[in-house]
Structure 1
Amino acid sequence: CDALRLFRLGYSWAGPVSLCVPYDVPTLRQRPWPHAPRLVRLAVGLEDVDDLRADLAQALRVLP
């Protein structure tokens, strides 16, 4: 989420801007979580689709 430039950090309330929020899934569940512990939820707003795709692509490139 920190690497995204167009997506703002926050929960979606059906607004016009794109948002993201990270979750630490194991802390939210009582049963074991068999996948990677971090999850990012995206809410897509009204920005240009190509701009959002480019933003996601550049953010994914900085992942370890």
Structure 2
Amino acid sequence: PGLLSVESGPYESDEGLNEGFTHGFVMKFDSPKSRDAYLPHPEHERVKAIVVPNLAQVIVFDFAV
């Protein structure tokens, strides 16, 4: 509950400002409270256990729109 959408894709710019990151994704929540509830959720932890070991580096950038 509270997760409205997930979008992902590869880096597509020729600017070269991606600091080596090749892919990104945006998760849209209906509120900061929903985002905060998602972080310790068992399903999120399950996905992290699969995905994070396969990543060289991670950056998280939370912002409001």
TM-score (ref. length: structure 1): 0.50
Does residue 60 (structure 1) correspond to residue 48 (structure 2)? The answer is yes
- In structure 1, C-alpha distance between the alignment counterparts of 2:30 and 2:46, rounded to whole Å: 18
Question: In the alignment, which residue of structure 2 is the partner of 1:18?
Answer: 4
* Structure 1: tracts of 5 or more residues without a match: 1-5, 7-15
TM-score (ref. length: structure 2): 0.50
Number of equivalenced pairs: 47
Tell me the percent identity. Answer: 0
Q: Runs of at least 4 residues of structure 1 off by over 6 A?
A: none
Q: Taking CA–CA contacts closer than 8 Å with sequence separation of 6 or more, which of the two structures ends up with the larger relative contact order? A: 1
Q: How does 1:1-64 map to 2 (within 5 A)?
A: 17-25=3-11, 27=12, 29-32=13-16, 33-45=18-30, 49-50=36-37, 52-53=38-39, 54=41, 55-63=43-51, 64=54
Higher helix residue share: 2
CA RMSD of aligned residues (A): 2.6
In structure 2, do the counterparts of structure 1 residues 57 and 18 end up closer, same or farther at CA, with 3 Å as the change threshold? farther
* Structure 2: tracts of 5 or more residues without a match: 55-65
- Per the TM alignment, residue 24 of structure 1 is displaced from its structure 2 partner at its CA by 0.6
